[in-house]
Structure 1
Amino acid sequence: MVLSSNWGSRFSLNFLGRVVVSSVLVLISQFSLTFVPRYLPASSVAVQLSLSVLILLAITGIGRCCKKILQIRASAPAFVLFNIFFIWAVYICIVRKAVSGLMDVVFNGEIAFLIAGFFRILRSDPGFVSLESVSLNEATDTSACGEVESGTSRSSIICDHPIEETSASARTVRYCRTCKKYVMGFDHHCPAFGNCIGRKNHFLFMVLLVGFLITEVSYGNLSRDLTVSTKLFSLLQVLWQGVFLAWHIYCICYNIRTDEWINWKKYPEFQVPAQLQSDEAYAVTNFRNPYDKGIIQNFMEFLTD
């Protein structure tokens, strides 16, 4: 009981420390961005965005220093959540006064949706499966999707279901090294949401990503010149999230996961040996996607899975 109490106390202090560091970094980053339009009022948007990126990179460096000095690292989900609340507070205190009643209801609804969706995906089950339910092959097979620790030894394992399964999202069970768990239809581990993205929450992830983009674009249009610093922050978010959304739409259309695209050389079903030429010293392996059934069928499979 004493050991359990001490562990719970350390966990609480560590969690509280991560939350405090995250909130401080949000305040530093947001208030630092206020100096960009103040000291570069006549500069182009591109120049202001470039300087804003440098500021945010510097804030990231400060966060890493906190980890080394205080032995406490920031929490990415807490950082995302505090940014939502910060922009919402700026909206209520400044922007709301110049917004129509209808747009006020719409924007507050968007923020409420983001907060509700954020907590839901944070606590969601992406499709975790137990080790017993995974079909294991020999440890020497080269298509291992991860490693598990057994005592002091490590053994690579296979966690692929047969291609013939009807559901493309259920076709594979991959190992997430961050969560140290197996995930059905594993796409990637999302630090911002503090969870894996897999079969059971992939759709929610896409909806939330679109929701963030819509909310940030709405805020940029509503704030105009009232709060230039938070508008710059929202614009930066839109730029990288737009690319991120485009990437995931591409993956859905061609029925491939992020993990599979990056690590395809680990998975035999994506490998096709090329014919060895006379002047080549070793065989070349080409990529193929055996799960691609055409854009329409792939997209419908994602919606109905």
Structure 2
Amino acid sequence: MDPGFVLTDTVKGVQGSDEEMESMIPQPSTPRLRRCGYCLLQQPMRAKHCQTCKRCVRRFDHHCPWIKNCVGERNHRWFIVYLLVQLLALLWALHIALSGISPTITWELWFRVNGFLLAVLGVVGIFSMVVVLLLGCHLYLVSINCTTWEFMSRHRISYLKNCGSEENPFDRGVFCNLWDFFCICRTVVWEQMYSRTRNPTNSV
């Protein structure tokens, strides 16, 4: 499905520039859209150009080779469901393989009879651990409202590199982050959230 491709451009006559060199935000309090250096569209905050899809994706997380698509704002929750279903299928395969192991009189005969199932258990077990780790990482990032791209490339992203190492301007707390991610289907204007977070109201 569409991961949230950036389709429109509201600013005309702006020349394209390198994605990592042009500053998205001239000042911490003034968010500004930037021009993609590849497709020349104006990028919303948290969007990134995918070299494989050759499109800009809103709230870009990563490009997944297994689904041959980007994971972004519109399909990230379905990617989590995909991982969960995949994990359930692997656990079911582990259960079937374990239930097929037959007891024998000697160890040598046992390995000979159950050798294929043991190999299956090893392969499925490795895949299960990989999916568990991947699912756990994504749920953690969702709980802090961070993407894989932002987590891995924080030092190169202009709207994050000036924040503290533990500061995330999009984090609204675990409950709100999870609720917004799984229960609210809409396009978020991240520039507004960033402005509110970076400019808190001073209390007297």
| TM-score above 0.5, yes or no | yes
Maintained 8 Å contact 1:146/1:177: no
Matches of 1:126 and 1:293, distance apart in 2: 23
1:160 is matched with 44
User: Would you say 1:204 and 2:94 are equivalent positions?
Assistant: no
| Gap change, CA 1:176 and 1:222, over 3 Å in 2 | same
- Cα 1:207–1:145 change in 2 (3 A) is farther
CA 146–188 in structure 1, closer or farther in 2 if over 3 Å, else same? farther
User: Quick one: distance in 2 between partners of 1:216 and 1:182?
Assistant: 33
For residues 35-56 of structure 1, give each alpha carbon's deviation from its aligned partner in whole angstroms, at most 9, with x where no partner exists.
xxxxxxxxxxxxxxxxxxxxxx
Cα offset for 1:296? 0.5
Give yes or no for contact 1:186–1:259 (8 Å, CA) kept in 2. yes
Paired position in structure 2 for 1:301: 180
Q: Greater relative contact order (Cα 8 A, min sep 6): structure 1 or 2?
A: 2
Aligned to 2:140: 250
Letter in 2 for 1:250: Y
Q: Alignment RMSD, CA only?
A: 2.8
State the identity %.
25
TM-score using structure 1 length: 0.45
Once the two structures are TM-superposed, the CA of residue 231 in structure 1 deviates from its matched residue by: 2.0
Distance 1:177 1:145, change over 3 A: farther
Residue of structure 2 equivalent to 1:176: 50
Kept after mapping to 2: 8 A contact 1:271/1:288: no
Amino acid at match of 2:81: V
- 1:217 corresponds, among 91, 100, 105, to 91
**1:4-43 to 2 correspondence within 5 Å?**
none
Cα 1:242–1:267, aligned 2, differ >3 Å: closer, same or farther? same
2:120 to 230, 236, 248: 230
Distance 1:244 1:159 in 2: 28
Give the alignment's TM-score, normalised by structure 2. 0.66
Contact 2:16/2:36 (8 A) holds in 1: no
Q: Give unmatched runs, 5+ long, in structure 2.
A: 25-33, 102-113, 186-204
How much does 1:287 deviate? Answer: 5.5
